[in-house]
Each structure stands twice: as C-alpha cells, then as structure tokens.
Amino acid sequence: MSIDHRSFHRLILGLVGLAWFLMTAPPAAAEWFADLYGGAAGTERSDVTLVVNPPSGPANHTFHNVKWDISATVGGRAGYWFERFPWYGIGLDVFHFNADIPTQTVSLTIPGATVPATLQEIDFSITAIAFDVIRLRLPLRVSPEFPKGQLQPYLTVGPALFLTRATNKTNAELTTQTATDTSLGVKVGAGASWQLFEHVAVFGEYRFTHFRAEPVLNSALSSLRVPLQSDLNTHHLLAGISWRF
C-alpha cells in the first residue's frame, strides 16, 4: 500500500529509533552480525492499471498478466542475536532490485471492451528498507569451536518500506518523466548459514517480497496525472558472506 507523508515521517522516525537501538545495545548482550549479499530477483506476472480520470469520467486501462524482467538483487544487512535467547534476533536489511516491464502484447481492458494491445517498456527501480522483527535460527553441528552451531538454518519475517522509481520508456501516451512512490510491504525469507571460521560465515537465502506500487506518471496528451497501479510479488535467490562479532 502507498503511504501519505505523515505516515512516512512516522515510519522514518521509527526506523531511526530502531537503528539507534541496534547501535547502542550493550555488546555483551548480543552476537552482532553484518552481511553482504547478491543474487537474482524475479517478479510474478500481474495486472498493471493506468488510472485515467478525464472530466468525462473514469477510463482506466488495465493490462492483464504483464510479464516483468528478471534482475539482480544486491544488499546488506546488520543486526544481532540475543545472548539470553540465542535462537532469536533482529536485523535491519537494505537491498535494491529492478522490475522492468518489457514490450509485450497482452489483453487490455478499457471501459466497455477487452482487446489485445501492446504495452511498451516501463522501468521500475526499487530500493527496500526491511526490518527483521522476527529472526529465528536453529543451531546445528554444535561444538566447542562453534558453540552457536556451525550450520544455522534461519527464518526472517518483517515489514519493509519500498522506494520505487518508475520511468516510461516508449509508451507514446505518457511522458518519460520519472515518477516515485513510497509503499509499505512485507519481506519473508528462509536460508542457512555455514560458519567457516569463528567470525566468518557464508549463507544462501530465498526471500519473498510483496508490495503495491502506485507511482504517478504524466500524460503526454493532456495535463492529466496518471497513477500506475501494480502488485509486485517478487522471488529472490541470494548468496552472501556474514561477519560475526
């Protein structure tokens, strides 16, 4: 869902508070970690709606079953595992991916009809700030060298803030001016880390992200503003390196 400026400011204040809490927690009370990772992101097909509201009445254009290009995902994450409950932790995760719409022929629904139509390229650039408010791990292969487990399957769940930049490339009815949107969504992930040394681990992860974007584009044919509505359900496959301290 998209959020208004007041909700956005409250959320930013909450993020700052969480970041401050992470940075000032007593070191003896936690096992800190910092991760760097990369991988691939694939967004599921979905409907894309141009919300057109001329004076004569609504004339929305809905493109059905639109395909999105596969892209890279890159990001970083930091947080800690509680010493008292070593199976539970929290984290702050920042990552970036694209979800571009390539030129394609799909079904288009306009008032009174559904017809084949060509949707031209529109690029989506997405930066996400996610909060792992639930972060669980299972310590396996525990030993004196690896008291928290050399193998650690884990699960993460939390809300995410998605910052979207959308740019029309070749649709003649829209300008090429970039539009932005800020939306709340969710991130869920599961993976496993393998401790190579006392302070270094590698990991692989699958994650799913969901949010609804509504950047507002400009019509090239009139003074109308044209919201572009779509649900982005994206699957990410990631691998990375983790430092523990």
**Tens digit of each residue's pLDDT (9 = 90 or more) over 63-115:** 999 999 999 999 999 999 998 899 999 999 999 999 999 999 999 999 889 99
What CA–CA distance (Å, rounded) separates 41 from 43? 7
- pLDDT band of residue 21 (cuts 50, 70, 90) is low
pLDDT above 60 (res 39): yes
Residues in the chain: 245
pLDDT above 80 (res 26): no
pLDDT above 60 (res 24): no
User: 71-82 and 113-119: which strand pairing?
Assistant: unpaired
- pLDDT band of residue 171 (cuts 50, 70, 90) is very high
> What is the pLDDT of the chain when averaged over all its residues?
90
CA atoms within 13 A on the CB side of 9: 2
- pLDDT band of residue 3 (cuts 50, 70, 90) is low
Residue 88 is predicted with a pLDDT of: 95
Residue with more model confidence, 19 or 36 = 36
CA–CA distance from 190 to each of 29, 59, 79, 172 (Å)?
A: 25, 42, 16, 42
Positive or negative, the CA dihedral 100, 50, 222, 216 is: negative
Structure tokens at 97: 């991916």
CB contact at 8 A, 123 and 102:
no
Burial class (CB in 10 A: 0-12, 13-18, 19+), 5: exposed
What CA–CA distance (Å, rounded) separates 191 from 213? 27
Nearest to 79 by CA among 25, 15, 156, 22: 22
- pLDDT band of residue 12 (cuts 50, 70, 90) is low
Q: Which domains does the chain have, with CATH numbers?
A: 5-24+41-244 (2.40.160)
Backbone angles phi, psi at 177, to 5 degrees: -70, 135
Residue 221 is predicted with a pLDDT of: 85
Structure tokens at 139: 């310590």
pLDDT, average across residues 220-238: 94
CB contact at 8 A, 108 and 115:
yes
What CA–CA distance (Å, rounded) separates 13 from 53? 35
Alpha helices by DSSP H, the chain: 5-24
What CA–CA distance (Å, rounded) separates 109 from 220? 21
- pLDDT band of residue 34 (cuts 50, 70, 90) is very high
Percent of the residues in the chain that have a pLDDT greater than 90, as a whole number: 78
